[in-house]
Amino acid sequence: MAELAKAKENLEGKGYKVRLFENGEQAAAYLNEQIDGKSVALGGMKTAEQLGLFESLAEHNEVIWHWRQDPADALKKAMTTDCYICSANALSEDGTIVNIDHTGNRLSSILYGHKKVYFVIGVNKLTDTMDDAIWRARNVAAPQRAKSMGRKTPCVYKDKCFDCKSPDRLCRGMLVLMYPIGSCETEIILIDEELGM
């Protein structure tokens, strides 16, 4: 079974800055301390909602989040913030991060445009291998997200990916991040608590 401590070691070996926390409250306090007086965008992530990141960070930062503001305006503004905070659909113990996206805002922000990107990842996202991470993203995270959005896709009813042709399909692009991207600093926040989808 995959272990967070081993994932931390492997991520650090790849060049990521990594912090490991016992719970979400500690992780949220750390982010609130580290990010001050900046412009911050949040990706679409249940983890941010569970940790109250929008509310806590907005007390002393300019925070953009399309879940709390006009989506068309927020998505455009989010492209140019100092920091970007997102989660992962899956993380393998060897340090591979997998994300699936519909609009492309999260994938593009992970790759380019910000001074710093934070990944906030609960223990439930951890898998043994990269193949397991891809499987989890497609067959666990994506169906849960489709359900939460009221989509009419086969995965909503059968809890697995059918690689459907539905116009409601959320899975439009997948990013497999093997190493930190060279355009920005990337920090991984690992949390020994189940968070997000």
Give residue-wise pLDDT tens across range 89-105: 999 999 999 999 999 99
Strands 90-92 and 97-101: antiparallel
Mean pLDDT of the 161-180 span: 94
pTM: 0.95
- Closest of 124, 34, 134, 129 to residue 85, by C-alpha: 34
If residue 77 lies in a helix (H) or strand (E), which one and from where to where?
helix 71-78
Strand partners, 64: 41
Strand 97-101 and strand 173-177: pairing? antiparallel
User: What domains, with CATH codes, occur in the chain?
Assistant: 4-191 (3.40.50.10420)
Over residues 112-152, the pLDDT tens digits come to 999 999 999 999 999 999 999 999 999 999 999 999 989 99
Element (H, E) at 140: none
Residues paired with 84 in a beta bridge: 41, 117
